[in-house]
Structure 1
Amino acid sequence: MKSVATATARIAMAALLALSAAATTAFAQTERMTGLKLSGDQPIQIESDRFEVDENQSLATFTGNVSVVQGETVMKAGRMKVFYKSDGGSATTGSADIDRLEVEDGIYVKSETQVATGDRGTFDMDSEVLVLSGNEVVLSEGDNVITGCKLTVQMSNGQARLDSCGGSGAGGRVKMLLTPESRNR
């Protein structure tokens, strides 16, 4: 089980870093994401109320008060599912390749000064596409805030898109609040 936890922790951290990078993208006007690498020099700690592995489904699931921590970066959610590719390897021994990660039931990600929240998120390993969605997706850095309902980030080239919640009225638009003092940071 320990090797499964290690492999799962690495993918969870990749998704965690992806989510926090999404917040960075929202506020960095001159910087561009060029991909993310895990910080191999810091341990990753995952805690949850329950951990299950289903080899037949190539699935590992953390349920209840899921917390993933590496250094100053923290992710919290109600559930985290790790889907493994079924073409060889074993989820139990940690030798299987990760296909995708799904996080749901209230996502909170904090990395240094950025915070991202949403109802659910996915990270596809092959396409390197992160999607964070919900009734309200919020990305913040200090007093700067951007909200919408679906954030899609292509990690390989740094392109990001935040979609509105649809419908009419003020609730159907992407909203951004930028404070003048944030330029001096």
Structure 2
Amino acid sequence: MKKSALSLVLAVFTGVTTMASTPVDNEVKQVKTTESTVTWKGYKVTGSHHGTIALKSGSLIFDGDKLTGGEFVVDMPTLVSNDLQGEYKGKLEGHLKSDDFFGVDAHPTSKLVFTSVKATGKNSYEVTGDLTIKGKTNPVTFDISIYGNKATATMKVDRSLYDVKYGSGSFFDNLGDKTIYDEFDLVVDLVF
């Protein structure tokens, strides 16, 4: 009887210690899309334009308190300009959504999938991911900071890699002051 009781105690103890040392699976935290913002800024020789675009969905993956992954889908038809009003605002938004730029009718979403995450500080990471715009996928690298249930990321995107050619000096000569620079900025503020 003592032998069976000892075996039972050892079995329970082994089971408990095995469970305690088993790593926790990655935790997926859904991004609150209505509370999160994506701000864009594009540049041309004579100035710049800026606005917002909404996330359709998003998630960050954590192992404990360490970021390990993420995936985001951007709702391209929500692209708006915040620096113009009236007729000019409508013209710019329509042009950005047209095939000259992002071809929103044929490509209603863009997507970012993290492929590697490297810690650079206590709450900071360098992320490389696959960004898909207009059906073309290219790697991008950017910095992201996590504080509690919020994250902030900034990135530069080279539109010429995604077949967004309009007004680009990479594709057209002699544009002069009509040149629109290939790189645009994104500032992403996430709540999850």
TM-score range relative to shorter protein: 0.3 to 0.5
Structure ranking higher on relative contact order (CA contacts 8 Å, 6+ apart): 2
Calculate the TM-score normalised by the size of structure 1. 0.37
Q: Which has the larger radius of gyration?
A: 2
